[in-house]
Amino acid sequence: MGKKTGPKSMLTRELKGFIRSHYLDCGSLRETSIKVFNNLDKFKNLEGEERAKELANFIQKIYNWKSWNTLNLGDAVETWKLEYKLRLANNNITRFLKMKETSDILSKDGDIYTIDDTNKLRVKADISKFVAKTLGKEHYSERNEFTGKEGTPLYIPSELIDKYDITREAKADSKVGE
Report DSSP letters for 53-93, one per residue. Answer: HHHHHHHHHHHHHHHHTGGGHHHHHHHHHHHHHHHHHHHHH
- Within a 10 A sphere around the Cβ of 73, how many other Cβ atoms? 24
What's the rounded Cα separation, in Å, for the pair 55 and 46? Answer: 10
DSSP state of 2: P
Give me the tens of pLDDT residue by residue for the chain, a chain 178 residues long: 455 544 567 888 899 999 999 999 988 999 999 999 999 999 999 999 999 999 999 999 999 999 988 888 989 999 998 888 888 888 888 887 787 877 777 778 888 877 777 887 788 888 888 877 777 766 666 666 677 777 787 777 788 777 877 765 544 444 544 4
- Cα angle for residues 20, 15, 41 (degrees, 5° grid): 120
What's the rounded Cα separation, in Å, for the pair 73 and 81? Answer: 12
Q: Where are the domains of the chain?
A: 13-82, 100-140, 146-178
What's the rounded Cα separation, in Å, for the pair 6 and 29? Answer: 24
Measured over the CA atoms of residue 35, residue 36, residue 37 and residue 43, the dihedral's sign is: positive
